[in-house]
Amino acid sequence: MNQLPNIITIARLFLVPVIIYSILNGEMMLAFWLFVAAGLSDAVDGFLARQLAARSELGAYLDPVADKALLVSIYVSLGWAGFLPDWLVLLVVSRDVMIVGGVVLGWVMAMPLAMDPALISKANTAAQIALAALVLAVAGSGLEAAAAVDMLVIVTAATTGVSALGYLLRWGGHMGLWALPGRPAADTVVSEEQGKRENP
């Protein structure tokens, strides 16, 4: 039972190619319901992990990977199919590539950055999910909701840009490229630690 949340997360990963296939073949309503199922599975695996005390290191990595894979794949597919503007798809994908690249570089340099999403990042994720769901629902049902889609495109773009900038500032401060307010630069911290070891 302790592995059930991870199994659900892996199942969500397997939904990704099915959703992409549905979008590219014009099965938008099917893609919408599969997207809803993926979203529900995300809530369920989190709930089970808490209730069963089954939080694990594997799950801590799998869950965000599944979320990123799902959203990025859907945005690229919707952009390819002409349902989302190319510039928005590029913005969303670039932000995620930057975050993943920053995390990998931090690990390579033995300076891992704790993944603690800021409020703006959570708002951005919510906006991305809402926009993807609305576009899929509108495309699948034929409803007219151009104004709502346009508004969510603006909100998604704004929160994506701000959250990307926030992550860049935080990552740069962590890596010692600049000092964040109230925090010493990383090289200063390293120098202080070395001084303590050399002069106990």
What pLDDT does 186 receive? 47
Structural domains in the chain?
A: 4-185 (1.20.120.1760)
What pLDDT does 107 receive? 79
Contact 88, 153 (CB under 8 A): yes
Q: What is the dihedral of CA 45, 123, 17, 31, to 10 degrees?
A: 100
What pLDDT does 23 receive? 96
| Full pLDDT tens readout for the chain, 200 residues | 667 777 888 888 999 999 999 999 999 999 999 999 998 887 887 777 777 776 766 666 677 788 889 999 999 999 999 999 999 999 999 998 988 888 788 878 877 776 667 788 889 989 999 999 999 999 999 888 999 999 999 999 999 999 989 888 887 777 777 765 655 544 444 444 444 444 55
What pLDDT does 10 receive? 87
Give the Cα separation of 153 and 11 in Å (integer). 29
Distance of CA 123 to the CA centre of its chain: 11
pTM score, whole prediction: 0.80
Q: How is residue 93 written in tokens?
A: 């994908």
